[in-house]
Amino acid sequence: MSSRLDVVIGIDGGGTHTRVLIADLEGNKLSYTEKGASSIKKDLKAVENVHEAIREALSLASCEISNVKGITAGIAGLDSVEDYKWADELVSIEGLNCPKWIVNDAVIAQSGAFLMEPGIVVVSGTGSIIFAINESGKEIRNFDFHQYAYSAARFLSYDVIFEILSGNINHTDQHLVEAVLTYWNVKNINELRLLGLEGFIEDERERNRFFGRMGILVTEAANDGSDLAKRVCNRSIHQLVVGIEILGSCFSSDFVPVAYIGSVLASPYMKTVLTESLQQRSRKIYEVRDPVLSAVSGAVLMALTKLELPITEEIINRLKKI
């Protein structure tokens, strides 16, 4: 039997996974599901993935599509006006006639991290973006300044392979080199070079996915003391610091909260060195905080707020459990 309970849907649509959460108007979780990527830039089946995730979540919640009162979707790769054309298709399902708010996935990450209060989120995983809302409520991206921090997992992987092929390795890198050769199923560096001459993998999406999955080898090697991995990670960290400082300069306060999001910044090495770098060189005081809510819960929070519902401490506590 279907429920008549009014609900909202939150979507965290990443370059690897689509996470869909259905909650009632009091913030109680009714269902949660995960499917493939939401970004058409990463997966040609993005629309199919999101539609399947929404329908499955509704089924798990025993909820009719007419019960949905609002939906917030944070989508990776939503960077220009043109992107909204394909992003709109992600939530264009027959019968889903409620208000829909489609934003970049960094927006819902910021919403969850700081409960829609001022702060900077630094996202590095499948993709990379630095996003802030300052004290006046202005939304700011590092992209607005044409700054991009090459800290996404695939860029770390590309950088490591380029360094290996150019011979910039030493004894501390032995385990990393062996892991890279094993990952690419080649016997030695020369075979890796020949693979590179062929473009590694012909299809760009598949190539980027494969390089992205290799990123964990780099961050783990940096944590284990590989000079090469540390050098590559430090380059990306420097770019992140510059991006954070650019956005931080748009805050009137000398104290700016920062939260880290994504698989790359979950690495102990990346998190520690980035935090130390901010503390050592920055003119402002950047207070690194753990996100209060997950990104998908941040999407639900945004939907409830857009519907002008009161956000109580009880609702926040319920969303924390998700």
Regarding whether 153 and 86 lie in a shared domain, the answer is no
- Per-residue pLDDT for 2 more than 50? no
Range 292-318 burial, b when 16+ CB lie within 10 A, else e: bbbbbbbbbbbbbbbeebeeeeebeeb
Regarding whether 225 and 136 lie in a shared domain, the answer is yes
Number of folded domains that form the chain: 2
Regarding whether 240 and 93 lie in a shared domain, the answer is no
Is residue 76 a part of any domain in this protein?
A: yes
Is residue 1 a part of any domain in this protein?
A: no
Regarding whether 241 and 163 lie in a shared domain, the answer is yes
User: Domain containing 159 — which CATH number?
Assistant: 3.30.420.40
- Per-residue pLDDT for 1 more than 50? no
Regarding whether 274 and 125 lie in a shared domain, the answer is yes
Regarding whether 251 and 310 lie in a shared domain, the answer is no
Regarding whether 258 and 205 lie in a shared domain, the answer is yes
Regarding whether 121 and 110 lie in a shared domain, the answer is no
Regarding whether 276 and 243 lie in a shared domain, the answer is yes
Q: Supply 174's token pair.
A: 């032995």
- Per-residue pLDDT for 237 more than 90? yes
Is residue 2 a part of any domain in this protein?
A: no
Is residue 93 a part of any domain in this protein?
A: yes
What is the residue-wise DSSP string for 15-69? SS-EEEEEEETT--EEEEEEES---TTT-TTHHHHHHHHHHHHHHHTTB-GGGEE
Is residue 77 a part of any domain in this protein?
A: yes
Residues facing 19 on adjacent strands: 12, 34
Regarding whether 265 and 130 lie in a shared domain, the answer is yes
- Per-residue pLDDT for 225 more than 70? yes
How far apart are alpha carbons 75 and 72 in whole angstroms? 10
Is residue 110 a part of any domain in this protein?
A: yes
- Determine what percent of the chain is predicted with pLDDT higher than 70: 98
- Per-residue pLDDT for 214 more than 50? yes
Regarding whether 286 and 139 lie in a shared domain, the answer is yes
Is residue 267 a part of any domain in this protein?
A: yes
Closest CA to 20 of 312, 299, 304: 299
Q: How confident is the model over 160-213, as pLDDT tens digits?
A: 999 999 999 999 999 999 999 999 999 999 999 999 999 999 999 899 999 999
Domain range for 31 is 7-115+293-320
Q: How confident is the model over 281-306, as pLDDT tens digits?
A: 778 999 999 999 999 999 999 999 99
Regarding whether 265 and 124 lie in a shared domain, the answer is yes
